[in-house]
Amino acid sequence: MTSLQRLFSNFANGWPGWGLLAQRVLIAAILIYRVVTHIAKGANSAALPELIGAGLSIFVLVGLWTPVVAGLTSLTEIWVLLYRTGDSWIPIIAATLSATLAMIGPGAWSVDARLFGRKHITPSPM
DSSP symbol at 74: H
The proportion of the chain whose per-residue pLDDT surpasses 70, expressed as a percent, equals 85
* Percentage helix, strand, coil for the chain under 3-state DSSP, each rounded to 5: 70, 0, 30
Provide the residue ranges of all domains of the chain, joining segments of one domain with +. 13-114
Please tell me the predicted confidence (pLDDT) of residue 113: 86
**Residue 111 DSSP SS3:** helix
Mean pLDDT for 37-47 is: 75
Q: Is the pLDDT of residue 9 over 90?
A: no
Q: Give the tens place of pLDDT for each residue, 60-116.
A: 999 999 999 999 999 999 998 988 777 789 999 999 999 999 999 898 889 988 888
Please tell me the predicted confidence (pLDDT) of residue 95: 96
Range name among 3-12, 92-101, 105-114, 117-126 with the lowest pLDDT average: 3-12
